[in-house]
Amino acid sequence: MGRIKGDAWVALILLAACAVFINDLQMTEDSGAFVKTTTLPMALAIALGILSSILLAWTIWLQIRRAADHETLPQSSERYAHLRVFLLVASIAIYITALPWFGFLISTAALIAGAAVLYGNRRLLQIVGAMVLIPVALLIFFEQYMIVLLPSARLFE
């Protein structure tokens, strides 16, 4: 039958999530007339579980039917593509965490440089220009015109 395909993974993850949510809902205090606080979420979680089971069964059935079509391992270029996605997600997560510590200007400049390289931009002048212009323009726009404070560098205070 080969490896489990993407849709089946989605169905399995959704089924696991449904189990967690149903458990959480069962422990929630209920109130309301006829349709209670947890009735609709519970019904939707069950519906999600049923739909995920159908998707899982359907994907496995399709896989068995098409067993003759041998699955090929991802090419190295595709593996690098997945790595780029992972690196971008990690960069954004680090950026969000760094914002309150290093402040908006420094964190943003660093993210722009990293992201530009991940997108294949190798023009140093363009990257440096973007590292300076984008954070400064956004800071001025939000703090001067929209009157919203962006995170300042707690680490240097």
Partner 1 sequence: MELLISSFQQVFILDTLALIAIGLIVGIVIGAIPGLNVPLAVAIALPITFKLDPIGGLAMLVGIYKGGTYGGSLSAVLINVPGTPAAAATALDGAALTRQGKAGKALKMSLYASIIGEIFSDIALIVFAVPVAIFALKVGPPETFSVGIFALTLVGVLSQGNILKGILAGVLGLFLSTFGVDPLTGDFRLTLGFQSLSGGWSFIAMVIGVFAVSEALVQVERRTIAKSATGPVRLSDPNHQLDRDDWKLCLPVIGRSSTIGVLIGAVPGLGAAVSAYLNYGITRNLSKRPEKFGLGAIEGVAAAESGNNAVTSATFVPLLTLGVPGDVITAIMLGAFVVHGLIPGPGLFEENPNFIAAFFLLMVVTTAFHLVIGRLGMPLFVQATRISNGLMFPAIVVLSVTGVFVATNNLFDVYAMLGFGVLGYFMIKLEFPVAPLLIGFILGPLVEIGLRQSMIMSRGSLDIFVTRPLSAAFLVIALLTVIVVGRREWREFYKKE
Q: Could you list the residues that contact partner 1 (CB under 8 A)? A: 6-7, 10, 14, 21, 24-25, 28-35, 37-38, 40-41, 44-45, 47-48, 51-52, 54-55, 58, 65, 81-82, 84-85, 88-89, 92-93, 95-96, 99-100, 104, 108, 111-112, 115-116, 118-121, 123, 126, 130, 134-135, 138, 142, 146-148, 150-151
Cβ closer to partner 1: 34 or 156? 34
Q: How far apart are CA 51 and CA 90, in angstroms?
A: 31
CB of 102 to partner 1, least distance (A): 14
For the bound state, the minimum distance from the C-beta of residue 154 to partner 1, rounded and expressed in Å, comes to: 13
Residue among 1 and 41 whose Cβ is closer to partner 1: 41
Least distance to partner 1, CB of residue 128, Å: 12
Nearest distance in Å: CB 65, partner 1: 7
Looking at the Cβ atoms of 67 and 126, the one nearer to partner 1 is 126
- Give, in order, the Cα–Cα distances in Å from 50 to each of 23, 53, 86: 16, 5, 31
- Residue number with CB closer to partner 1 (121 or 153): 121
CA triplet 59, 61, 67: central angle to 5 degrees? 100
Residue 33 CB, nearest distance to partner 1 (Å)? 6
